[in-house]
Amino acid sequence: MIKSAENIIVGISIGDLNGIGSEVVLKTFEDSRMLELCTPVIFANVKILSFLKKNFTSTVLMHGIDRLDQITPGKVNVFNLWKEGLDVNAGVNDAKIGEYAIKSFVAATAALKEGVIDVLVTAPINKYNIQSEDFKFPGHTDYLDQELEGNALMMMVQDNLRVGLLTDHIPLSEVASHLTEDLIKKKIETVRKSLIQDFSINKPRIAVLGLNPHCGDGGVIGKEDDEILKPVIKKLFEKGTLVFGPFAADGFFGSNQYDKYDAVIATYHDQGLIPFKTLSFGKGVNYTAGLDKIRTSPDHGTAYDIAGKDEADFGSFKEAVYLAIDIYRSRNLYVEISAKPLKIKEKQL
């Protein structure tokens, strides 16, 4: 059964407390109508958030809880994950703050796995200061891929523009060696399934961008497009997947070709994210597709340069909350419909 709106519990990991995470989170819930859409639970400490709130314009009322069974609909719940004070300094890269960012994220992920929260929205972290003996992941996505069932895929979303990645946080020099037939098949299938169950698109059309300039120009500028990408795309298309390409990446977005497809798959991080962020104007959302649970995040980082200055735009974080709720509803509706037997009326004689 699909939950009523206010009973959808949105868990929020607070991210780097020296960045703009707390500002965009609290500003998102300034509008009381948000509490008609969901029940937020912030994994942090209510005293610290009350202190940080003084650095930016916010009148949001927070409801501190010490146990997750105390979550109250209609309130901005803050789960007091820790009791001790922290030395918080806006704009400073601090390993101790990174430690607490991961403490929040790991606890929120555990709550997501256990079904205590329905979806997870993550505020920005600093990928450098989160590294430790206990946490050796490039970012959120890699940890979620380990902890949750499925195959994680980074997908950027803004309205009908969806950009997925074959490879994400790896050095550019290693991209070509990662492009195997198995990886390409797996990622395309992950995008296809996500478009169906998470975005309610029955017959999704998917475009794949080439790795090399001009898709290699027949092998003159690289052979990966002809020898790896094209054969896999052809095989999948022949089996019924509406996947097309590879397309030369340089003119694909500028010529509005992306409008013809339900999703675009880029071969590496910047190939997809530069045009996406150019087109999305700060309203984009990072969605981790392919997992059995739902996680979204804003499409920006910690923004140390404006932290504590009351200048942060919370639009992307708000969109991340909206998208998480929409996907939760779409996915549950998909499961509900799939579980119903198909009834075929007998032809009247």
pLDDT tens profile 268-302: 999 999 999 999 988 999 999 999 999 999 999 99
DSSP conformational letter for 85: -
* Cα(144)–Cα(133) distance, integer angstroms: 18
pLDDT digits (tens, 9 = 90+) for 153-179: 999 999 999 999 999 888 999 999 999
DSSP per residue, 251-304: HHTTTTGGGG-SEEEESSHHHHHHHHHHHHTT--EEEEEEESSEEEEESS---G
Q: Does the pLDDT value for residue 343 go beyond 80?
A: no
Q: Does the pLDDT value for residue 1 go beyond 70?
A: no
> What does pLDDT average to over the chain?
92
For residue 123, give the nearest of 29, 31, 6, 7 by alpha carbon. Answer: 29
Q: Does the pLDDT value for residue 311 go beyond 90?
A: yes
- Give the CA distances from residue 140 to residues 79, 109, 120, 137, 313, in Å, rounded to whole numbers and listed in that order: 20, 10, 11, 8, 22
Task: Give the pLDDT band of residue 5 (cuts 50, 70, 90).
Answer: low
CA angle 12, 265, 156 (to 5 degrees): 25
Provide the CA 121 distance to its chain's centre, in angstroms: 8
H/E run at residue 101: helix 95-114
For residue 246, give the nearest of 259, 261, 262, 265 by alpha carbon. Answer: 265
- Going across the sheet that includes 9-13, the strands are 62-65, 76-80, 39-44, 9-13, 119-122, 294-298, 285-291, 150-158, 161-165, 263-266, 206-209, 243-247
* Cα(175)–Cα(145) distance, integer angstroms: 19
Mean pLDDT of 243-248: 96
- Give the CA distances from residue 240 to residues 192, 290, 298, in Å, rounded to whole numbers and listed in that order: 11, 20, 34
Q: Does the pLDDT value for residue 22 go beyond 90?
A: yes
Mean pLDDT of 304-326: 95
Crossing angle between the packed helical segments 315-339 and 181-197, to the nearest 10 degrees = 80
Q: Does the pLDDT value for residue 341 go beyond 70?
A: no
What residue ranges of the chain are covered by domains with CATH 3.40.718.10? Answer: 1-149+292-302, 151-291
The pLDDT of residue 4? 58
Can you point out the beta strands (E) in 27-128?
39-44, 62-65, 76-80, 119-122
pLDDT digits (tens, 9 = 90+) for 125-156: 998 888 888 888 878 988 999 999 999 999 99
pLDDT digits (tens, 9 = 90+) for 26-82: 999 999 899 999 999 999 999 999 999 988 878 899 999 999 999 999 999 999 999
Number of C-beta neighbours around residue 266 at 10 A: 27
The pLDDT of residue 347? 47
The pLDDT of residue 90? 92
* Fold (CATH) for 151-291: Isopropylmalate Dehydrogenase (3.40.718)
List of residues 6+ apart from 164 with CB closer than 8 A: 153, 154, 155, 156, 187, 190, 191, 263, 264, 265, 266, 272, 289
List of residues 6+ apart from 84 with CB closer than 8 A: none
Cβ(142)–Cβ(288) under 8 Å? no
* Identity of the amino acid at 95: A
* Identity of the amino acid at 93: N
DSSP conformational letter for 228: I
**What architecture is domain 1-149+292-302?**
3-Layer(aba) Sandwich (3.40)
Cβ(101)–Cβ(14) under 8 Å? yes
Q: What is the pTM assigned to this prediction? A: 0.92
DSSP H stretches of helix in 169-229: 175-178, 181-197, 224
Task: Give the pLDDT band of residue 250 (cuts 50, 70, 90).
Answer: very high
